Homo-oligomer: A and B are copies of this chain.
Amino acid sequence: MIHAPVIHAIVVTQFAKMLNNLVAILGEAEKFAAEKKFDTSILLQSRLSPDQFSLVQQIRTACDTAKLGAARLAGRDKDVPVHADTEQTMAEIKARIESVIAYLKGFSPDAFAGAAERRITQPRWNGKSLSGQEFLVQHVLPNFYFHVTTAYAILRHNGVGIGKKNYLGDMPYREAVAA
């Protein structure tokens, strides 16, 4: 079973890192829009298919996946901060991302004690449940990366000058030791 510090390393440390990367990516989108002299709300309303979420909704959903994923794993889903899904501007959506990063950082590793075995459900599941480990590995992780990647893809498709490094962020490399 996955232990509490590893869950923390994934849903707090790594998800906060990815959300920070997303804020920086939106900064690149703002520069691009300024150069080309168009309003960034055009990007926020862009989508890859007419029946797929727009950029702003992809970001909201990435935020909710991280927020609710951490809260449910920690058994704290009764007191999750509510976001009204009304963001329309870059400033508003970046503020939402920052608020979720701050929320995630409120979880200590100990908050996830016993999370792997906890039965976890969601409103749409009609009482069905997954174990915490199943929920993290098969639901939270693929969903979180789905929405972050799709947000990236919408911007990439619209010509914003970003690459994989912007998505992944810095790696904690250890330098090679001289032989």
- Chain A interface (Cβ < 8 Å from any Cβ of B): 1-3, 5-6, 9-10, 14, 17-18, 48-49, 52, 119, 125-130, 133-134, 137-139, 141-143, 145-146, 149-150, 152-153, 156-157, 159, 164, 167-169, 171-176
Q: B residues within 8 A CB of A1? A: 5-6
Q: Which of B127, B133, B141 contacts A176 (CB 8 A)?
A: B127
CB pair B48–A129 under 8 Å, yes or no, is no
**Contact among B2, B49, B157, B168 with A6 in the assembled complex (CB-CB below 8 Å):** B2
5 interchain residue pairs of minimum CB distance:
A127-B176, A145-B145, A149-B149, A128-B173, A48-B157
Contact indicator B143/A168 (Cβ below 8 Å): yes
Chain B residue nearest to A119 (CB atoms) is B174
Residue of B129, B141, B157 near A49 (CB, 8 A) is B157
Q: How far is the CB of A108 from chain B (nearest CB, A)?
A: 18
- CB-based contact B18/A142 at 8 Å: yes
For A145, the chain B residues whose CB sits under 8 A away are 141-142, 145-146, 149
Measured in the bound complex, the distance between the Cα atoms of B2 and A133 in whole Å is: 12
